[in-house]
């Protein structure tokens, strides 16, 4: 089966300068450093990792807001635009526009439709996201956070996209309504065969929503696997640390836990070799010199770590 979107070895590097008059380049931020991702039709690919790991830059490149410095964004059968739903439904909806105007805005930009056709589509989209058509003439401040996120989803759906970038879509919402929004997104995915690129900190959300999860560290994917495999059989020390950190403390689990030491190194001129080596409890001599390749550990499970360089035979 062909991927809907294939990102192939994409890079986004920013030069860093010092001095106001005689500007001198003092480093390079490798925000995204050669990642490859396949997003399959009707599936969710999730990116996880600490802030600054490059998840958002990757999603911006997909939204074409940021061009890769290098690499290719191949679009297969990908005529419809990519849409996005962002974290904060309070600031992502224009407070001066009515709900029908907000939802119709992308429709008017992308398609030439009559006023009555636009009205009919807005009514239909409201129903699809679980809102009553009479909400069309209200303003965003009249809605709760969950309802606003439904409006943002309706707007994203209006151009019939194949792919929606979901950037922390429920993290600003009350815990009690997060599941409703996630379930709505799942229903819409199966009804319209939508693909999602999900960015989320909450690993329970990622586990629930994803078909494939990519773990990013300093601009690189260090591990990729289907969620069940990743959450039960993570191999990369960074992934194992992330998962341990997300679980509630438990006395019996403590021995297996890998605790993340130190801060995330600066993305300006990141460490050589495996960029995780200054924090890794399993660091070996070659880790500070050789960049580990992302290799298939078991089918569909890829890891970039020298511990598994020979398909898991080279364990410590």
- Report the interface residues with ligand SF4, using CB under 6 A: 236-237, 274, 276-277, 280, 282-284, 287, 292, 305-307
Cβ proximity of 147 and 131 under 8 Å = yes
By C-alpha distance, which of 1, 5, 12 is closest to 73? 5
Least spacing, CB of residue 9 vs ligand SF4, in Å: 20
237 vs 267 by CB, closer to ligand SF4: 237
In the DSSP assignment, the letter for residue 268 is B
Q: How far apart are CA 149 and CA 113, in angstroms?
A: 25
DSSP-derived 3-state class of residue 267 = coil
214 vs 292 by CB, closer to ligand SF4: 292
209 vs 216 by CB, closer to ligand SF4: 216
Least spacing, CB of residue 27 vs ligand SF4, in Å: 22
Least spacing, CB of residue 289 vs ligand SF4, in Å: 10
26 vs 288 by CB, closer to ligand SF4: 288
3 vs 284 by CB, closer to ligand SF4: 284
By C-alpha distance, which of 91, 83, 133 is closest to 110? 83
Task: Name the β-bridge partners of 6.
Answer: 38, 74
Least spacing, CB of residue 200 vs ligand SF4, in Å: 23
179 vs 245 by CB, closer to ligand SF4: 245
By C-alpha distance, which of 5, 31, 11, 6 is closest to 71? 11
64 vs 259 by CB, closer to ligand SF4: 259
DSSP of 149-168: HHHHHHHHHTT--SEEEEES
In the DSSP assignment, the letter for residue 294 is -
Q: How far apart are CA 198 and CA 201, in angstroms?
A: 10
Cβ proximity of 219 and 35 under 8 Å = yes
Q: What are φ and ψ of residue 148, in 5° steps?
A: -65, -40
Least spacing, CB of residue 305 vs ligand SF4, in Å: 3
| Complete edge-to-edge strand list for the sheet that includes strand 5-18 | 24-39, 5-18, 70-75
Least spacing, CB of residue 3 vs ligand SF4, in Å: 27
Give the Cα-Cα-Cα angle 230, 233, 238 (nearest 5 degrees). Answer: 70
Q: How far apart are CA 309 and CA 293, in angstroms?
A: 8
200 vs 258 by CB, closer to ligand SF4: 258
Least spacing, CB of residue 232 vs ligand SF4, in Å: 19
197 vs 241 by CB, closer to ligand SF4: 241
Least spacing, CB of residue 91 vs ligand SF4, in Å: 37
Least spacing, CB of residue 274 vs ligand SF4, in Å: 3
By C-alpha distance, which of 300, 283, 258, 140 is closest to 292? 283
By C-alpha distance, which of 51, 44, 61, 79 is closest to 9? 61
């Amino acid at each position: 089966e062909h991927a809907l979107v294939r990102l192939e070895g994409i890079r986004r590097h920013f030069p860093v300068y010092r001095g106001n008059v005689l500007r001198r380049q003092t480093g390079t931020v490798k925000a995204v450093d050669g990642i490859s991702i396949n997003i399959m039709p009707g599936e969710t690919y999730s990116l996880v990792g600490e802030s600054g790991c490059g998840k958002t830059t990757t999603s911006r490149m997909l939204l074409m807001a940021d061009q890769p410095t290098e690499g290719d964004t191949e679009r297969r059968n990908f005529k419809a635009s990519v849409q996005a739903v962002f974290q904060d439904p309070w600031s992502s909806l224009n407070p001066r526009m009515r709900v029908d105007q907000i939802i119709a805005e992308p429709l008017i930009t992308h398609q030439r439709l009559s006023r009555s056709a636009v009205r009919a589509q807005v009514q239909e989209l409201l129903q699809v996201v679980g809102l009553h058509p009479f909400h069309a003439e209200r303003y965003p401040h009249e809605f709760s956070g969950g309802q606003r996120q439904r409006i943002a989803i309706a707007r994203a759906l209006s151009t019939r996209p194949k792919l929606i970038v979901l950037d922390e879509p429920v993290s600003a919402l009350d815990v009690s309504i997060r599941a409703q929004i996630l379930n709505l997104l799942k229903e819409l995915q199966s009804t319209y065969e939508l693909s999602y690129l999900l960015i989320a900190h909450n690993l329970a959300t990622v586990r629930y929503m994803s078909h494939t999860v990519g773990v990013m560290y300093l601009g690189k994917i260090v591990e990729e696997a289907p969620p069940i495999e990743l959450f039960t059989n993570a191999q990369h020390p960074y992934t194992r640390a992330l998962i341990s950190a997300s679980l509630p403390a438990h006395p019996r689990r403590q021995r297996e836990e890998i605790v993340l030491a130190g801060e995330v190194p600066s993305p300006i001129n990141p460490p050589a070799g495996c960029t995780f080596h200054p924090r890794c409890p399993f660091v070996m001599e070659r880790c500070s010199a050789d960049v580990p390749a992302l290799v298939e550990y078991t089918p569909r499970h890829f890891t970039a770590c020298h511990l598994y360089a020979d398909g898991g035979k080279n364990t410590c």
